[in-house]
Amino acid sequence: MTAPGTAEAGRGAPSGVRATARVTAAPDGRGGTALPVLTGEGPLALRRVRADGGWARALLVGAMGGPLGGDRLTVRAHARPGARLGLGSAAATLALPGQSGEAARYDVRLTADAGAELRWLPEQLIVGAGSDLAVATRADVAPGARLVLREEQVLGRTGDAAPGRLTSGLRLRVGEQVLLEQELTCGPGAPGGWDGPAVLGGHRALGQLLVVRPEFTATPPVARLLGDHAALTPLAGPAVLVQALGRDALEVRRVLDGALAELDAPDTGP
Amino acid sequence: MAATTSAYDPGPPPGPVPAAPRAALLVLADGRFPAGGHAHSGGVEEAVAARRVVDGATLEAFCRGRLHTAGLVAAALAAAAALGTDPVALDRAADARTPSPALRATARRLGRQLLRTARATWPHPELDALASAFPRGAHQPVVLGAVVRAAGLDGADAAHCAAYESVSGPASAAVRLLGLDPCDATRVLAAVAPAVDRTGAEAVRAALRVPESGTGALPAASAPLLEIGAEAHAGWPVRLFAS
Amino acid sequence: MHLHHDTEPHGHHGAASGGGHPPVRPDGTRRALRVGLGGPVGSGKTATVAALCGALRDELSLAVVTNDIYTREDAEFLLREGVLAPERISAVETGACPHTAIRDDISANLEAVEDLEDANGPLDLVLVESGGDNLTATFSRGLVDAQIFVIDVAGGDDVPRKGGPGITTADLLVVNKTDLAPYVGADLARMAADARLRRGGLPVVLQSLRAPDGVREVAAWVGARRAAWVAHP
């Protein structure tokens, strides 16, 4: 915590809370994965949970809620060569307005070294009315490493007249090559047409599933629709992106889970 | 001076003669410029079929959404290309900003078609080099920026041209698909015009950061329904527009 | 019934280089002859293309580009008929404006022709079939070297008299489905006479594809154009 005073005291101050959670995974030499680094701060607490099959799993446990306006939260996860790290969250993240009127930032930095496997599967981000949040997720994947990344956004809580404002960026780099760079901006004050027929079309839940696998170089999955408002698309490299829109979080989750199950099935070809 | 006599004396020019070329931009941005755009709806054909675009108001919302996402990205790529950024790097940046393979293929087709017409229109060694580097076509905005250079125009011209194309294509397709009154469609374009100007300016600002910061400085605004819809459209057995 | 056969190619060869397209391949040989087939909906363009492919495929390396307003339908017809391998058929979307794609903005068609040449090696002949349109639709000389306009007797025997750019300027006018003339009360002699009057010496063929080898005259005309094209300096 680098904000003045405690996390509680930092709430609402112009600078908000600064907090970083770090996890580093490495092979433990016995066929499993150790977590030599596992540290959280303030609203970003990390807890190791049971896992098997050579995996290490950790959950972000929302100790305080947030992010609130002015907060600056960072998650850094690093899977060293050969490690298998699964990272999730115990509950949804709820963005709320702060007292300062400042925007909040939530940065996620994922790094998978050669031969490593990293899964980032947090629960939904709910963008509450009046909040203003910029999320930036950056995944750096070495050639030969594997990644599963899921992000879901719910625009507004039930009963909110309008969602908050969200800018959600996602960048994937495999080796030296940036394979995906996208940024969605929505909510009050977003550029015109964000809720119109070209962008969200009134949908209030959306999600992205990004899967990187070396074998996609030789056999890329075929682009396909997944229902009315979702598609699986191979990127210009060994990765696929699933984008899904839905009426609610459940609908989006169903589509993304289905897509991941299909990709995980031994026979993923058509 | 030769002692020519003429009854017509235009007198001194009314003011400074504009040095910047302007008419070439009109040639390039003309909807009748024969570079294949007429067969592309910019996603409107799918949006009409899904009943998301049904009239002038929904067309305007579509155009605004497309302008601030795909339009902004295209405008910045075009401006960066016009300013001389390496087209190979820009083409990769365009791939990264286009997750839909259907849209990547469309962008390359349109790039190839634009380059064909432009090489006949404004012959230039840089265009020849671009054609050699991308025999299957580079992303259309990257080609557009190079064409703008060949035509003696600048980065702002490229950005405005790309931003305008991002809405003019859908508007004219909507006229054909919905039987929309052409005046309504043109009114939509006029209503969106100030936003086109702002988008063009924003794109140029981003492009000017590229020499220092790399292509990561380019905007990456995304439109999920355009991308999902493009994949749906590409699978139709029967369609009027190529995209 | 072959009313007139002008064996002299009708100029334009040098002009067929639109879109920066030279009429020679990089190796100096002439590229494929491109023949456009236009005409109203239902006049038998696709059937004529299919019959031409059947008649010419043994002697010439062929490919077809279709421009149906509903993309792929013509291509699928050709595939069903088994006249050409699928990789020799390409379909182009026209944005609901078939005449634009063959006349005002020929980019997509030129690209399709190029891709067919790339995929199938040197070709001798590419047939470009327009989507069904009205009587004013003609091909750009930047896209095709010669064009055939196809009408049929069931469309009304006054069509040749009415004229229009397709009727009057096409390098070959085909009056199709002559076998239907008795059933629709069409006066073939009158159609032929009107066409001759309108076309000032350009050839006209009346054909029925139901007759054995019904496409023979059109195939011969295309063959002559092809021979003249190859011989052109």
Nearest residue to C37 via CA among C153, C126, C159, C154: C126
Contact C44, C150 (CB under 8 A): yes
d(CA C7, CA C48): 21
| Chain C meets chain A (3+ C-beta pairs below 8 A) | no
Per-residue confidence (pLDDT) for residue A224, from 0 to 100: 96
pLDDT computed for residue A100 by the predictor: 81
| C132 contacts C69 by C-beta, under 8 angstroms | yes
Phi-psi region of B55 (alpha: psi -120 to 50; beta: other; left: phi over 0): beta
- Give the DSSP H or E segment for A49: strand A44-49
How many alpha carbons lie under 13 Å from residue B238 in its C-beta half-sphere? 7
| pLDDT for residue B92 is more than 70 | yes
List pLDDT tens digits, range B31-61.
899 999 999 999 999 999 999 999 999 999 9
| Chain A partners within 8 Å of B235 (Cβ) | 225
Tell me what the mean pLDDT of segment A213-230 comes to.
Answer: 96
Q: Which residues of A touch B66 (CB under 8 A)?
A: 193, 198
Q: CA-nearest residue of chain B to C104?
A: B34
Closest in B99, B216, B221 to A233, CB measured: B99
- Tell which wins on pLDDT, B68 or B12: B68
Give the residue from B69, B73, B188, B202 with the most A CB atoms within 10 Å of its CB, the best one to mutate. B69
Mean of the pLDDT values across residues C87-94? 91
Q: Do A223 and B61 touch (CB under 8 A)?
A: no
Lowest mean pLDDT among B218-222, C64-68, C173-177: C64-68
Chain B CA closest to residue A171: B96
Q: Is the pLDDT of residue A268 over 60?
A: no
Label the pairing between strands A84-89 and A44-49: unpaired
Contacts of B109 in chain C (CB under 8 A): 108, 111
Yes or no: say if B104 and B98 are a contact pair by the CB < 8 Å rule: yes
Of B236, B220, B230, the C-alpha closest to B100 is B230
Which pLDDT belongs to residue B5?
56
- Name the residue in chain B with its Cα closest to that of C22: B120
Chain C residues in contact with B240 by the CB 8 A cut-off are 69-71, 93-96
pLDDT reported for residue A234: 98
Res. B108 pLDDT band, cuts 50 70 90: very high
Is the pLDDT assigned to residue A12 strictly greater than 60?
no
pLDDT band of residue C77 (cuts 50, 70, 90) is: confident
Which chain B residues are Cβ-neighbours of A231 within 8 angstroms?
Answer: 100, 227-228, 231-232
Shortest distance between the Cα of B198 and any Cα of chain A, in A, equals 11
Q: Give the tokens for residue A1.
A: 């915590």
Which pLDDT does position C227 carry in this prediction? 94
Gap from C119 CA to chain B (nearest CA, Å): 13
Confidence label for B18 from pLDDT (cuts 50, 70 and 90): low
Counting Cα atoms < 13 Å in the Cβ hemisphere of C55 gives 19
More confident residue, A187 or C41: A187
**Residue A23, Cβ density class (10 Å: 0-12 exposed, 13-18 middle, ≥19 buried):** buried
Q: Name the closest residue on chain C to residue B179, using Cα atoms.
A: C96
pLDDT band with cut points at 50, 70 and 90 for residue B219: very high
B107 — pLDDT class (breaks 50, 70, 90)? very high
Which residues of chain A have a CB within 8 Å of the CB of B69?
193, 198-199
Mutate which of A171, A206, A233, A245 to test chain B, going by most B C-beta atoms within 10 A?
A233
Confidence band for C23, pLDDT divided at 50, 70 and 90: confident
Residue C70 pLDDT class (50, 70, 90 cuts): low
Average pLDDT over chain A reads 92
Query: C10 pLDDT exceeds 50?
Result: no
**Residue A34, pLDDT above cutoff 60:** yes
Does residue C170 have a pLDDT over 50? yes
Q: Is A167 on the interface with B (CB under 8 A)?
A: no
Say whether B42 sits in a helix, a strand or coil: coil
Tell if the CB–CB gap between B177 and C107 is shorter than 8 Å: no
Considering only the beta carbons, identify the residue of B64, B101, B222 that sits closest to A182: B222
Identify the pLDDT of residue C26: 67
* Among the partner residues C19, C71, C106, nearest to B239 by beta-carbon distance: C71
**Inter-chain residue contact A225 with B232, CB threshold 8 Å:** yes
Q: Each residue of C192-203: pLDDT tens digit? A: 999 999 999 999
Q: Tokens 């995980």 label which residue?
A: A264
CB contact under 8 A, B232 and A182: no
Q: Are the Cβ atoms of B119 and C105 closer than 8 angstroms?
A: no
Phi, psi at C181, each rounded to 5°: -50, -45
pLDDT band for position C76 (cuts 50, 70, 90): confident
pLDDT confidence of residue A2: 44
A202 backbone φψ class: left, alpha, beta (φ>0; ψ -120 to 50): left
Give the residue among B33, B55, B57 at the shortest CA–CA distance from B174: B55
Residues of C with CB under 8 A from a CB of B: 18-21, 69-73, 92-97, 100-101, 104-108, 110-111
| Percentage, residues of chain A above pLDDT 90 | 83
Mutation choice for B interface testing from A138, A152, A180, A181 by most B CBs within 10 A = A181
C-alpha–C-alpha distance, residues B133 and B123, integer Å: 16
Residue of A nearest to B68 (CA): A191
Averaged confidence pLDDT in chain C? 86
